[in-house]
Structure 1
Amino acid sequence: MQIDFFHAADQSELRGWFSSQQAVTQWAGPGVAWPLTEEFMRTLLDADKQQPARLLTFATRCEGQLAAVAQLSFDWENHLACLCRVAVNPALRGKGLAGQLLDVMIHTAFNNPAIERLELVVYPHNLAAVRTYEKLGFVREGVRRACVAVGDARWDSAFYGLLRAEFTARSAA
């Protein structure tokens, strides 16, 4: 598995992973429309041009095929980073690719001494994602009930956090 930044050449393959507004909402949140627009896709690029970094989009590749994508955003004023928009190629799910990518991203965040907290938001019905985050050491901190409208449904959002001290203790064990 190769981990790199997301590239313009990856856009078409990523678009093919989503077949509905519900699938895009589960990945990117309620503010992103399906089908994915050119404007949105541009927000996934230019990681290497940001100084300091605000939003980095990582990608993994297996045998040349786009395997997983995830973003890491930074709030430098509050010394925190956020994992977001984690997606795995539907043809490659169930192989632990998200966990491997997220482990690298967690280390990337905490390798910067300014970052004291890493957080994320997940829909609790996404059990595979919840299991992955908890396995990586994230602690569930709360739930906003029925906070996202998806068609006629209302989804809860669960909030998870990982503190530098927890990461350090887990890494030492």
Structure 2
Amino acid sequence: MDIRLFDLDKDFAIIKNWITDERTNMLWCANRIQYPMSKTIFKDFLKEISDKYGDIPYVAVDDADKPAGFYAYSVNEATKEGMLKFVVVDPDKRGKGIAREMLGRVVATALADENVQAVQLNVFSVNEPARKCYQKIGFVEKNVTKEAVNFGDETWDRINMLIKC
């Protein structure tokens, strides 16, 4: 597996197909991106989060350079924390260690950056597989926002997780 910058023209159609329904969209981006997303909407969204937070989108790719995972990452210089956002793995490849390897590389890169003391991410309480994956990497719960979002008749807590470098 390699990590490279996300290429809208090359990667969008593949990643778009991973977000198969409104619930998956909510779990992935908290509905910050309209479902179903279009290339233009996603491009505008990536520009917005880049301009506002410095987020850079990446893909984890297989040997054929086909995306297997996606995430955005930025560093908050004031808090010296990296922030992982919008983590998603190809549904056909889930449970095969892709996320663990992909995020392990992010953490390893953060460890090498003297300006980063920790990396954090958020996950919804109902996304137990992702939460367990993050715990296996070494992320621990920092805090929980109870009843952070509603989806249909469900109410989800948002769990902020942290790994110290």
TM-score by length of 1: 0.83
Give the equivalent residue in structure 1 for 2:24.
23
Give the equivalent residue in structure 2 for 1:100.
101
Residue identity opposite 1:86 in structure 2: V
Give the equivalent residue in structure 1 for 2:15.
14
- Give me the whole-angstrom Cα distance separating, in 1, the residues matched to 2:161 and 2:101: 18
- 1:132 maps onto 2:133 in alignment: yes
Kindly state the Cα deviation for residue 151 of structure 1 after the two structures are TM-superposed: 2.6
- Identical positions, percent: 24
How many residue pairs get aligned? The number is: 159
- 1:142 maps onto 2:143 in alignment: yes
**After superposition, where does 1:10-159 map in structure 2 within 5 Å?**
10-37=11-38, 38-44=40-46, 54-64=54-64, 65-159=66-160
Kindly state the Cα deviation for residue 30 of structure 1 after the two structures are TM-superposed: 3.2
Deviations 1:101-126 (A, max 9, x none): 00111122232211112111111221
Give the 3 Å change call, closer, same or farther, for CA 32–118 of structure 1 in structure 2.
same
Structure 2: segments with no counterpart, 5+ residues? none
Kindly state the Cα deviation for residue 2 of structure 1 after the two structures are TM-superposed: 2.3
Q: Is the 8 A contact 1:30 1:148 kept in 2?
A: no
- Give me the whole-angstrom Cα distance separating, in 2, the residues matched to 1:42 and 1:7: 14
Deviations 1:41-60 (A, max 9, x none): 34447xxxx8xx92121211
Q: Is the 8 A contact 2:143 2:160 kept in 1?
A: yes
Residue identity opposite 1:39 in structure 2: I
TM-score by length of 2: 0.86
Q: Is the 8 A contact 1:4 1:58 kept in 2?
A: yes
Residue identity opposite 1:20 in structure 2: D
Residue identity opposite 1:61 in structure 2: V
Deviations 1:29-73 (A, max 9, x none): 23222011323334447xxxx8xx921212112243221111112
Residue identity opposite 1:127 in structure 2: E
Kindly state the Cα deviation for residue 88 of structure 1 after the two structures are TM-superposed: 0.7
Kindly state the Cα deviation for residue 87 of structure 1 after the two structures are TM-superposed: 0.6
- Give me the whole-angstrom Cα distance separating, in 2, the residues matched to 1:111 and 1:63: 25
- Give me the whole-angstrom Cα distance separating, in 2, the residues matched to 1:63 and 1:28: 27
